[in-house]
Amino acid sequence: MQVQVAVLCDAATDSMGKLNILGAFDALMAREFPIVHPMCAVAVRLMFERHEEGTRKLEIRFVDDDGQEIIDRIEGQLSTQIPPNRPFVSQNMVLNLQRIEFKKPGRYEVDIFIDGTLAVAIPLSVLDPGQMRLNG
């Protein structure tokens, strides 16, 4: 399995196998905490080879820098079937999230596990502009 794309973004769709991504980002800024981010999406594209066909356990965790989950863990299954005329297939996953609360500035991650192994970690910096300094 190969992770081809993994981002946080403003919006994403899967349209007949095409992954459409709008507004990829890795940082948010807030003047006071806690803040609630109204809406975003996690967009992931995975590529599987023929020998990787089958069903796998999927788990998604959105955690803060202390490893505490900021939304409920998402668990499910990911099934892959490869047609006989294709050597590989790609699968898109789009997870739409609403009203995510960030209690403090820091590093956050969306961690995606497949069969219990971390496949990809998507980082997010939540910044307080009052704590930033200009280099100079």
Residues 22, 11 contacting (CB under 8 angstroms): yes
What is the distance between the alpha carbons of residues 120 and 5, in angstroms, rounded to a whole number? Answer: 10
**Predicted confidence (pLDDT) per residue in 108-124, tens digit:** 999 999 999 999 999 99
35 located within any domain? yes
Domain range for 20: 2-128
Q: How many domains does the chain contain in total?
A: 1
**Predicted confidence (pLDDT) per residue in 67-112, tens digit:** 999 999 999 999 999 999 999 999 999 999 999 999 999 999 999 9
Handedness of CA 75, 20, 8, 89 (dihedral sign): positive
What is the distance between the alpha carbons of residues 92 and 113, in angstroms, rounded to a whole number? Answer: 15
111 located within any domain? yes
CATH number at residue 17: 2.60.40.1930
Q: What is the pTM of this model?
A: 0.90
What is the distance between the alpha carbons of residues 57 and 77, in angstroms, rounded to a whole number? Answer: 5
